[in-house]
Amino acid sequence: MGLQSAAGNRAVATMVARLRDSRLLPGTSHVLVQREYTPKRNEAKDFKRWVTLRWDRPEDDVADVTAEITKWCSSHSQADELTKTVKYVDFDHLRSTFKTADDAVAKHGSFENAAGAQPAPTAQAQPKGPATDPHAEAKRQIKNAGFKAADFSEEDLLVIEAGKSQSGVGWAKAIADVRTAKIEKETSAKLASDRATKYAPAKAQGDVLFTDPLARRVWAAAHALAISGSSASSNPNITLSGDAVRRTDALAAVADWRAHETVYAGLVDQVHVPGGGQPIQDKANRETNPDPERGFQVDFCSNWSNTKVNVHVDVLTSSMR
């Protein structure tokens, strides 16, 4: 029969107390006596409260955690102090460092100090799984539609995801709309590249022919419009950017423009300004197609491979008086 069973908890406690002052081995901090206690019936309920409330452990763990505490501690009051001053994770580290609770207190004076002296518990590395793809569903829908998800950029996927939530759209239409826009953009970019190459000789020739500052700005705008996707329309138009010009500046540009009817044979010809002796039109009050949104303008026209390009230049109303 063991010492504790034969003498009881109180007798063992008294004996250990007497040994307390002489329990340390020379040159060591370990105790001579390892004392384990068995909680009394009325003490057992304390452990359930301490383990579940103080240490936030599930009730299923109460029995196992109680066994760990009573094996390590030497008294009920010591167990009480332990669960009040340190966390369960700290207790786990204390047990791995000190053979008994008495060892921990003898070296550091308290459980709290002993726990504070231990290296901070490190969180266990979580196994790394595959990164979650935020566009996984969009890519799945694209594949279901018969297309390759790799052909759609991050921006395309975001547009699809936003579009599918709109009323009456859904995945299929959102994907089709983005794909159509992509094709048009790619086609337009290719056409612009092809046209830039095609009209390069004409552009170089016009850069030499036109010397008037305003006429040169108009020529640059006409070329940009001719090689862009907008030139696909039957009569592409653009208004020259910037402030309206004075009447005298507009007329000087008209003279320079009309002086070069053909810039480059077979590419750019029929360079003209309509209106004869009155090239500046009051478009707000003209008889045909009056436009209240406009004032005085000059139309600088040119044909680029039979496509008419029209650059409008605003003229200051004050300069027309």
Residue 190 forms part of a structural domain: yes
> Are 220 and 279 in the same domain?
yes
Do residues 202 and 262 lie in contact, with contact meaning Cβ atoms separated by under 8 Å? no
* Max Cα–Cα distance, the chain, nearest Å: 130
> Are 262 and 306 in the same domain?
yes
Whole-number pLDDT of residue 124? 56
Whole-number pLDDT of residue 126? 57
Mean pLDDT of 67-89: 90
User: Quick one: which of 252, 244, 261 has its CA closest to 296?
Assistant: 244
Residue 273 forms part of a structural domain: yes
Residue 47 forms part of a structural domain: yes
Q: How far apart are CA 274 and CA 29, in angstroms?
A: 109
> Are 166 and 229 in the same domain?
no
The backbone region for 118, taken as left when phi is positive above 0, alpha when psi lies in -120 to 50, beta otherwise, is beta
Residue 159 domain boundaries: 136-196
- 79-95 pLDDT per residue, tens: 999 999 999 888 988 88
Do residues 54 and 84 lie in contact, with contact meaning Cβ atoms separated by under 8 Å? yes
* pLDDT higher at 179 or 30: 179
Q: Is the pLDDT of residue 12 over 50?
A: no
For the chain, state the CA radius of gyration: 45
Q: For residue 229, what pLDDT band results from cuts at 50, 70 and 90?
A: low
> Are 187 and 237 in the same domain?
no
Q: For residue 207, what pLDDT band results from cuts at 50, 70 and 90?
A: very high
Dihedral sign computed on CA atoms, order 134, 139, 140, 141: positive
Residue 127 forms part of a structural domain: no
Mean pLDDT of 143-152: 89
Of 116, 148, 174, which residue is a domain's last?
A: 116
Whole-number pLDDT of residue 125? 53
Residue 178 forms part of a structural domain: yes
> Are 53 and 93 in the same domain?
yes
Q: For residue 302, what pLDDT band results from cuts at 50, 70 and 90?
A: very high
- Which residues are bridge partners to 300 per DSSP? 311
- 14-62 pLDDT per residue, tens: 444 444 444 444 444 444 444 567 788 778 888 888 988 888 888 888 8
> Are 161 and 209 in the same domain?
no
The model scores a pTM over 0.85 = no
Q: Is the pLDDT of residue 209 over 60?
A: yes
Q: Is the pLDDT of residue 132 over 70?
A: yes
Average pLDDT, the chain: 83
User: Quick one: which of 308, 309, 301 has its CA closest to 279?
Assistant: 301
Tokens 């105790």 sit on residue: 31
Q: Is the pLDDT of residue 130 over 50?
A: yes
Q: Is the pLDDT of residue 313 over 90?
A: yes
What are the CB-based long-range contacts (under 8 Å, 24+) for 29-32?
29/103, 29/106, 29/107, 30/99, 30/103, 31/99, 31/100, 31/102, 31/103, 31/106
User: What single DSSP character describes residue 306?
Assistant: T
Whole-number pLDDT of residue 16? 47
Residue 124 forms part of a structural domain: no
What is the enclosing helix (H) or strand (E) of 158?
helix 154-163
Mean pLDDT of 167-193: 84
> Are 17 and 37 in the same domain?
yes
* pLDDT higher at 261 or 294: 261
Ranges 21-25, 241-245, 294-298: which has the least confidence: 21-25
> Are 104 and 151 in the same domain?
no
With a CB cutoff of 8 Å and minimum separation 6, the contacts of 319 are: 246, 247, 248
Mean pLDDT of 254-279: 96
Residue 191 forms part of a structural domain: yes
> Are 167 and 270 in the same domain?
no
Whole-number pLDDT of residue 6? 44
Residue 57 forms part of a structural domain: yes
Mean pLDDT of 184-203: 86
> Are 74 and 174 in the same domain?
no
> Are 89 and 190 in the same domain?
no
> Are 92 and 186 in the same domain?
no
Domain count, the chain: 3
